[in-house]
Each structure stands twice: as structure tokens, then as C-alpha cells.
Amino acid sequence: MPGFFDKSIEFLKGVGPQRAALLCKELGLFTYGDLVQYYPYRYEDRTKFYKVNELHEHLSYVQVIGEIKSLQHVGVGRKQRLVASFADDTGQFDLVWFQGANWIKKKLSIGVPYIVFGKPARYGKNLSVAHPEIEILTPNATKGSHLQPMYNTSEVMKKKFIDSKAIGKFQKILLVEAMHHIQETLPEKLLQSYHLTDKKTALVSIHFPKDQDHLQKARYRLKFEELFFIQLQLLKLKVTRTEKYRGIIFSNSDKLNDFYSKHLPFELTNAQKRVVKEIYTDFRSGHQMNRLVQGDVGSGKTMVAFLCMLIAISNGKQAAFMAPTEILAEQHFEGLQEYAKPMGIRVARLTGSSKQSERKLLHEALASGVIHILVGTHALIEEKVRFQNLGLAVIDEQHRFGVAQRAKLWQKNKETYPHVLVMTATPIPRTLAMTLYGDLDISIIDELPAGRKPIVTKHMLDSKRIALFAFLEKEIEKGRQIYIVYPLIEESSTMDYKDLMDGYESISRRFPNQPLSILHGRMKSEDKDFEMKRFAKGETKIMVATTVIEVGVNVPNASVMVIENAERFGLSQLHQLRGRVGRGAEQSYCILMTGDKLTTEARTRISTMVATNDGFKIAETDLKLRGPGDLMGTQQSGALDLLISDLSADGEVLQLARQAANQVLTDDPELQKPSNGHIRKHIDSLKKTAVNWGRIS
């Protein structure tokens, strides 16, 4: 039976079919429930009255009591406007109307006390308020001490007189009707221990707060609730999966020990050791592992993955390693091959450009278990690729893979799912990770291998290009190699290709004796490979490229990264690009080239890059600048359609909500206890409507 909040808003008093259609179309509001959750985006303080001599143009909205002293049309034609001189006993300013002047003039009287409300602006020495709200001062008008809710509307709606005020009226009518229908969604115990306002009070206060204090309490309560239910779903998913899917137990680590004692090319960092231990614990737990390893660029995730693959192989299982691009798959293949060969471990590769004849042999070798490790691109998840016994699937650079692809890898085995290790070099702020990957366990490699010199990052103006070239020349003389990267926002952007080609030409002119490499998305993959290999071998000294080199590519001798038009890149992309250098023993540099006119936001990005090498700090700043919806790989995630919470600002509430969700599930995994009745009911009602969190998994 549909409940009160499922009713269509067309039935609300004062709405009707036409306005309902508009509210649906413009704001996506269909039901009573949608409307009541359409929260104000800000509140106007109608508790304070200003004196005219207190006004200045930096105030937002102000309220003033006074009288109109004069009223006249000024200007001609399209510039014609109505100007009223408005004054109290401290001074005077102008009220101005550009539209509806005749109609308004008729309504206004000189010498009558009014309350005026609007935003002051300055034109020359005159202060004025354009299109103010104006009403006659009544004895009651100054008593209404409350914060006025402001709702977003559209131009179309305003033309039909559905403005913020009108929505406020609908809310008032709705809340009166809804009083007996609003149900608590959280257990009494949580309300008490987290000092949360009850749902009814919160909903009333979010629309019509008595004062700041009530408003803050309402916001806190509603944010907590929103985040609590997301976390509860994610954690529940994790619990169910852990219980339902038995994991293959890897108790043998012979190969790992062997490699450790005989072939390990360097001392592991403590962070690498810790993460391998965490994973090994998962392997022996009897549960299927789903773990995310976050580690800044260059932190050595590949070695961690290889060590884990050795454990799988020690137990007679195969491993798959999936990379987002062919170049990367190739590099990983070669890198892993080097480690694997002396161990007698067989590695194969599979990418989009693998030939049919090769594939057939490969399929057989995989199915019979001859191959221990398969490295490749998403060609790995094709139906035809069958393993004899897949024990571990590693996914590198997660942000390029969707969750659906992750799920396909799980299904490579019939009876038991392989363990899944997801690795990402895009540090995700904790708050976001908990929401996006709340169903995964998270390990963090928070340490770079010893001996790395921090990369020196500099901002340089285009006008200093001669100095840049001189610097590059010196570095080449020292035997270093250089990347020069151009933005390529869209594959199809011809302008961007022109930039790249022009750049390539001016560099060849400046360095006539240096062989150059060029790399961009329009090249055939053989040509890309060829160029990449020449550069990796040191045959070319300068690589001119678009962002195709962004992810993972490893050339330790390349120590300078020049980024052209750096203002056009996002922060996390700049950080990824910078991560291509600083991999060898030499001092590395990242040079951000820009013009001299930059937006404030671009300036913040550049100065953040210059100030820090810490990927997590950069990710936090990125989140604040762009908001979570724009972060790499999160665009399609329904997890971020939040009504009231803001992941970049509400980290603390999120922590508490997750903690609460954990407590509830630990105490009552199936949510069967009567005390959790509210929760059960609310989840059911969420399932009926748009299920945001359902899209996560």
C-alpha cells in the first residue's frame, strides 16, 4: 500500500496538476517525500534590521526600515528604470527597478513606513538595491524572528510564480499534513548516544528553523541519517559476502619465502611489508578477500602484487593481473617476467592486439594450468578466457575499471570466487573511499622506498620559455630524459592536437640533434609501443606526449616532467603526471607551464602542486575544489547523489555514522531485533524508491 509520502505532489493543497508537472520537470520532485526532502540551500536572517548608515556593498542581504522620499522614472528606452530614494533617520540609498516599473510605481506611496529587503550594491558613490522585496511595516513584521529558507528554483519556474517563497509555502502546508506520518528511522539508542534530534523536529527545523542552533541540530541529524544508511548497506553487503562466499585458503608460502631469500631486488619498505601481511592474513581467513590497496605513485604496488601472486602460486593457483592500458600491461608483463623467470614461473600476456593464433594457444595453456600469471588489459575478462584455477585477481589503477568489471573477474571460477586485490594510485580521501569502496577493506602504502629525493616542482610562465629550454638542455647533457606533456581533454579535439604538434616542432627546432619521441592517442598501438620502448631504452631523450602516458609508465632515467598549459589539468591528473618522474636516484623536476592569467581555482591547483608531493593532501584539496562528483572515476556513482551531506566537508559525521552502523550490525547482523525495527522499515522504503546505494555494488 502506498504510504503518505508516496502521494503525488499534485494532490497537495495549492499545487495542482500544472504546477506539479513543473516541479517534476524542473526539480525532479514527484512525491510528498521528494518535496519534504527538498531542503533549502541557504537561509536568510530576517532577525536583524540595518540602519542606512550601516550599509555597504559587501553585505549579502539586508533588511532596512524607512520611507520613500521620492519616486521617479530615470533614463530612456531600454535603459529606463524606476528609482526610489529610500531613507531612515541616518541616511538614504536608492531602490531600483528595471522591470515592471509602471506596475510597481502604482503600488508604492511616499511617506509610508516600509520594510525593504535586498542586496546592496555600489554604483559610483551611490548605494542601491535592485529589485528589492518591499512591504508595508506592520506591528507584527518585526516580531517574526526566524531564518527564512531559500529554495533553488529555475527561471522557468519563476516565470510561473513558483519562486523560493512559493516552495516555502508548499513545505509549510505539507509539514502540517505530514505531522502524523513522519516516522522515526533511527533506534532510540542511537538518538541518545549520538545526541541526535528526532526526525520530526529535524524535518520541521530544516525548513523553518527557529534559530541557528535548531538549524545546526537538524542538519547534523539529517546528515547522520543519510550517511548512516549508506554505510549500513555497504557494511551489510560486506558481511553477507564474507559469510556467503568461502575463500580459497592459501596456507603455503614456499614461493614467497624462496623469492624473499634469493631474488628480492631491494629491501621492502615497512609499508609494503605491512600490506603484504594484511593480505596474507586475508588469504588464510577462509573468506574471500576484497581489498583495496592505496599507494601514492611510485610507492611500489607492483612488488606487493607480485608477492601476493607468489602466495597464490605456492598453493597451486593461478593469478591474473589486469591493467588499464596496453602500454601498462606490456610494462607489467616485462617487469613481472623479470622477477618470475628465475623462479620458474610462467607469465603470459593478453591484450586487444594479441593475435588470434596466439590467443588459441594461450587459452589452452591457461585452461591446463601451464601458465601461472596472466597479465593483460580488460581483454582478460572476456568470456573465452578460462583459467584452470584462478586464485587471485589483481586490478591495477582501479579508477579506470568499473565495479561491473570487478564483478566479472570474480566469476572466472565456478565454485569459489578468487581473491580480489584492487590497486589505485589515485589517493582517495578517506571520506570518499568509505563511501565508494565501503564494501572493500582498505590497505594503505604510506611510505616511498628509501633514497628517493622529493620531486622539485616549479611554476613557470610561458614568457620564460627560453629559460626552460636552457634548463632542459642542461639536464639532457647530464644524461637525463624529459617528458613534455600537452593537455588533451577530448580525443577528438583538433585544437589540442595542433598544440601538441606545434610544440613538437618548436622542440625539434630547439634541439635539432636530439632524437624525439612522440606519443598520442591517435597513433596505432604498435607505433605507441615502439615510441615508448625507444624512450624507455634511452634512445630518445625527449618524449612529447599527451596524457596517454599518465598512468603507471616507468622510466627511471626520466627526471624532468614539463606540463604545458598546466592550468587545464585537474589536480589529481597533475599529480599522476608528476609521478612519472622521481623514480630513479637523480633529483627530479616537475615544471608547470602556464600563461600569466589564471583563475583563482587554477592558481590554487598550481600552488598546491608546488607546495606538496603528498598525494593524499592533494586529493583532499581536489575534493574541496571540485566536489566529489567530479573526481576521477566517481562520475557515475550513485553513491554520491547525496541530499544533504557533503563528502568534502562532513568527514566527521561520516566517521560517526559508520561507527554507528558497525555497532548496529555487530549487535544484530540480520537487523531482526525489535529495537532495530525503525531501521528495517526505512530500508524497505528506500528499496521501493530510488536506491542510490544499490548502484554501488
If contact means CB under 5 to 8 A according to the sort of partner, which of Mg ion, ligand ADP, none does residue 559 touch?
A: none
Interface residue with ligand ADP among 24, 130, 175, 268 (CB under 6 A) is 268
266 lies in the site for ligand ADP, by CB under 6 A: yes
Amino acid at residue number 149: P
Spatial CA neighbour of 90 closest among 49, 142, 40: 49
Q: Can you read off the three cell numbers belonging to residue 33? A: 517525500
Distance in angstroms (rounded) separating the CA atoms of residues 405 and 149: 44
d(CA 617, CA 608) in angstroms, rounded, equals 9
Q: Going by C-beta distance under 8 Å and a sequence separation of 6 or more, which residues neighbour residue 132? A: 95, 116, 117, 118
> Is the Cβ of residue 40 or residue 552 nearer to ligand ADP in the bound state?
552
DSSP characters for 634-653? -TT-GGG--SS--TTT-HHH
Shortest CB 329 distance to ligand ADP, Å:
13
E runs forming strands in 166-323: 290-295, 318-322
| Residue 132 near ligand ADP by CB under 6 A | no
Q: Which residues contact 312 (CB under 8 A, 6 or more apart)?
A: 250, 283, 318, 319, 391, 392, 419
Find the part of the chain contacting ligand ADP (CB under 6 A) among 237-245, 299-307, 372-380, 623-631. 299-307
Cα–Cα dist 175/88, whole Å:
38
Q: Which residue, 103 or 266, has its beta carbon nearer to ligand ADP?
A: 266
- 83 or 297: CB nearest ligand ADP: 297
Question: What cell does 474 get?
Answer: 642542461
Using CB distances below 5 to 8 A depending on partner kind, what does residue 594 bind out of Mg ion, ligand ADP, none?
A: none
Q: Which residues pair with 456 in a beta bridge?
A: 589
Please tell me whether residue 554 binds ligand ADP under the rule CB under 6 A: yes
- Going by C-alpha positions, the residue among 226, 225, 229 that lies closest to residue 237 is 229
Among the listed residues 253, 385, 232, the one whose alpha carbon sits nearest the alpha carbon of residue 316: 253
Residue 300 binds what, of ligand ADP, Mg ion, none (CB under 5 to 8 Å, by partner type)? ligand ADP
Count of residues that bind ligand ADP according to CB under 6 A: 19
Q: Return the residue of 20, 36, 116, 297 that touches ligand ADP, per CB under 6 A.
A: 297
Please name every residue paired with 72 in a beta bridge, in sequence order, or none if there are none.
83
CB 696 within 8 A of CB 639: yes
**CB of residue 523 vs ligand ADP: minimum separation in angstroms?**
23
Q: How is 586-636 classified by DSSP, letter by letter?
A: S--EEEEEE-S---HHHHHHHHHHHH---HHHHHHHHHHHH-GGGSTT-TT
Indicate which of Mg ion, ligand ADP, none lies near residue 481 (CB less than 5 to 8 Å, by partner kind): none
Distance CA 200, CA 181 (A): 9
Minimal distance, residue 605 CB to ligand ADP, in Å:
22
Per partner kind, with CB cut-offs from 5 to 8 A, the member of ligand ADP, Mg ion, none near residue 299 is ligand ADP
Q: What are phi and psi of 239, to 5 degrees?
A: -60, -45
* Closer residue to ligand ADP in complex, CB, 438/579: 579
Q: Does 449 bind ligand ADP (CB under 6 A)?
A: yes
Contact by Cβ (8 Å): 600, 581: no
Q: b/e map of 680-694 (b: 16 or more CB within 10 Å)?
A: eebbeebeeeeebbe
* Residue whose cell numbers read 614467497: 256
- Among 185, 233, 302, 621, the residue binding ligand ADP under the rule CB under 6 A is 302
Buried b (16+ CB within 10 A) or exposed e, 310-323: bbbbbbebbbbbbb
Tabulate helix, strand, coil % of the chain (nearest 5): 45, 20, 35
Q: Least distance in Å: CB of 334 to ligand ADP?
A: 12
Binds ligand ADP by CB under 6 A, chosen from 66, 132, 300, 582: 300
593 in Cβ contact with 574 (< 8 Å): no
CB nearer to Mg ion: give 33 or 552.
552
Under the criterion CB under 5 A, does residue 552 sit at the interface with Mg ion? yes
Q: Which does 324 bind (CB under 5 to 8 A by kind): Mg ion, ligand ADP, none?
A: none
| Least Cβ distance, residue 420 to ligand ADP (angstroms) | 18
In 509-580, beta strands by DSSP E: 516-519, 542-545, 558-563
- 56-95 footprint of Mg ion as x/- string (CB under 5 A): ----------------------------------------
Instruction: Pick between residue 299 and residue 435 the one whose CB is nearest to ligand ADP.
Output: 299
Nearer to ligand ADP, 223 or 400 (CB): 400
Nearest residue to the partner Mg ion, using Cβ:
552
Question: Footprint of ligand ADP on residues 610-629 (CB under 6 A)?
Answer: none
Bridge partners (DSSP) listed for residue 610: none
- Find the shortest distance in angstroms from Cβ 145 to ligand ADP: 58
Closest approach of Cβ 451 to ligand ADP, in Å?
7
**Residue (560 or 644) nearer to ligand ADP, CB:** 560
Q: Which is nearer to Mg ion, 149 or 295 (CB)?
A: 295
Pick from 223, 372, 541, 583: which binds ligand ADP (CB under 6 A)?
A: 583
CB of 454 to Mg ion, least distance (A): 19
Stretch that binds ligand ADP, among 61-69, 103-111, 268-276, 311-319 (CB under 6 A): 268-276
Decide: residue 109, CB within 10 A, 0-12 exposed, 13-18 middle, 19+ buried.
exposed
Nearer to ligand ADP, 425 or 518 (CB): 425
- Interface residue with ligand ADP, options 153, 171, 197, 299 (CB under 6 A): 299
Question: Among 7, 19, 236, 301, which residue sits at the site for ligand ADP (rule: CB under 6 A)?
Answer: 301
For 466: left if phi > 0, alpha if psi spans -120 to 50, otherwise beta; the answer is alpha
Mark the segment that binds ligand ADP (CB under 6 A) among 33-41, 527-535, 551-559, 592-600: 551-559
Which of ligand ADP, Mg ion, none has residue 303 at its interface (CB below 5 to 8 Å by kind)?
A: ligand ADP
Backbone phi and psi for residue 682, each to the nearest 5 degrees, phi listed first: -65, -40
Q: How far is the CB of 41 from ligand ADP (least distance, A)?
A: 40
Report the partner that residue 266 touches, choosing among ligand ADP, Mg ion, none (CB closer than 5 to 8 A by kind).
ligand ADP
Pick 300 or 628: Cβ nearer Mg ion:
300
Considering the complex, what minimum distance in angstroms separates the CB of residue 271 from ligand ADP? 9
Least Cβ distance, residue 340 to Mg ion (angstroms): 17
With CB under 5 A as the rule, give the number of residues binding Mg ion.
1
User: In the complex, what is the shortest distance from the CB of residue 295 to ligand ADP, in angstroms, rounded to a whole number?
Assistant: 5
Among the listed residues 427, 454, 459, the one whose alpha carbon sits nearest the alpha carbon of residue 443: 427
Q: Among ligand ADP, Mg ion, none, what binds residue 298 when CB lies within 5 to 8 Å by partner kind?
A: ligand ADP
Candidate segments 149-157, 315-323, 533-541, 550-558, binder of ligand ADP by CB under 6 A:
550-558
304's grid cell: 606487493
Give 445: exposed, middle or buried? Use CB within 10 Å, 0-12, 13-18, 19+: buried
Q: Which residues bind ligand ADP (CB under 6 A)?
A: 266-269, 272, 295, 297-303, 425, 449, 552, 554, 556, 583
Q: Which residues bind Mg ion (CB under 5 A)?
A: 552
